[in-house]
Amino acid sequence: MEKIAVFPGSFDPFTVGHESIVNRASKLFDKIIIAIGLNPKKDALFTLEERKNFIRQVFEDNPKIEIVHFEGLTVEFCKRVGAGYILRGLRTSADFEFERAIAQVNKSMHKEIETVFFLTITEHTPINSSIVRDIYRHGGDISKFIPSKMKLNKS
């Protein structure tokens, strides 16, 4: 059976931390669906189309990667697309506490879906989209925090 994993997130914007997780997971799964969750509580800096385009640029040569968006519960989305795994990244103990609760609740809702955690590589530990957004908003250079293939051309 095809091993399909969903990597859910806001990806506002996609960073080298996200890229690294997808590349590492790519060795373990047949297909990875990068799923941009639409969260009405979060005000995004980049539009959905911009975020999708950024991610497309990064993985244009990787046929295992699909990029979509979804609304609602991640586990329900996984069931719809036939995914058995949810990918998440862990940077700190704060990430762990947050992710533990979500993964355990997801497991209690759908016990056939496993959450798989990737511990970030050391140099990506401090990188998160919200810091990258702040640097970008203030005109700083974010090139070292985003994948080299990703070109931002927001006006």
Q: Mind telling me the catalytic residues?
A: 18, 42, 91, 129
Stretch that binds ligand ADP, among 15-23, 25-33, 64-72, 107-115 (CB under 6 A): 15-23
b/e 60-98 (16+ beta carbons within 10 angstroms → b): eeeebbebeebeeebbebbeeeebbbbbbbbbeeebeee
Give the phi and the psi of residue 144 in degrees, each rounded to 5. Answer: -80, -5
Q: How far apart are CA 51 and CA 40, in angstroms?
A: 16
Q: How far apart are CA 28 and CA 45, in angstroms?
A: 32
Stretch that binds ligand ADP, among 10-18, 75-83, 106-114, 132-140 (CB under 6 A): 10-18
Contacting residue, 4, 5, 6, 17, with ligand ADP by CB under 6 A = 17
Instruction: Kindly state whether residue 106 participates in binding ligand ADP, applying the rule CB under 6 A.
Output: no
Instruction: Kindly state whether residue 129 participates in binding ligand ADP, applying the rule CB under 6 A.
Output: yes
Q: What sign does the CA torsion over 143, 16, 107, 95 have?
A: negative
Instruction: Kindly state whether residue 18 participates in binding ligand ADP, applying the rule CB under 6 A.
Output: yes
Q: Residues 86-105 vs ligand ADP: string with x where CB under 6 A?
A: --xx-x---x----------
By CB under 6 A, name the binding residues for ligand ADP. 9-11, 15, 17-18, 21, 88-89, 91, 95, 120, 124, 127-129
